[in-house]
């Protein structure tokens, strides 16, 4: 299993992480691990891709519609 060290973490970020960990009943390390796992999960990546693709969207005109032809049942 890998390990990372985060240096120069802003005091405010550390405090928020501490509060979030307490709210979820886990250690700061466990909370950071949960946040990182969620951030790189495939479902999160799909959401990010959809968000990015939607910013490139263009408006298309719908095709012209006409009334259906009459049906001759004779």
Give the count of alpha carbons within 13 A of 59, CB side only.
1
Question: Taking the domains of the chain in order of start, what are their residue ranges?
Answer: 11-44
Q: Each residue of 14-60: pLDDT tens digit? A: 999 999 999 999 999 999 999 999 888 888 778 878 888 888 878 88
SS3 letters across 47-61: HHHHHHHHCCCCCCC
Q: How confident is the model at residue 8 (pLDDT cuts 50, 70, 90)?
A: very high
Q: What share of the chain is helix, strand, coil (3-state, %, to 5)?
A: 50, 0, 50
Looking at residue 16, its pLDDT comes to 97
């Amino acid at each position: 299993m890998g390990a990372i060290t985060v240096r120069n973490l802003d005091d405010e970020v550390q405090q928020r992480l501490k509060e979030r960990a307490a709210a979820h009943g886990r250690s700061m390390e466990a909370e950071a691990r949960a946040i990182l796992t969620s951030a790189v999960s495939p479902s999160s990546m799909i959401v990010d891709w959809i968000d990015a693709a939607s910013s490139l969207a263009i408006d298309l005109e719908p095709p012209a519609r006409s009334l259906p032809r009459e049906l001759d049942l004779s």
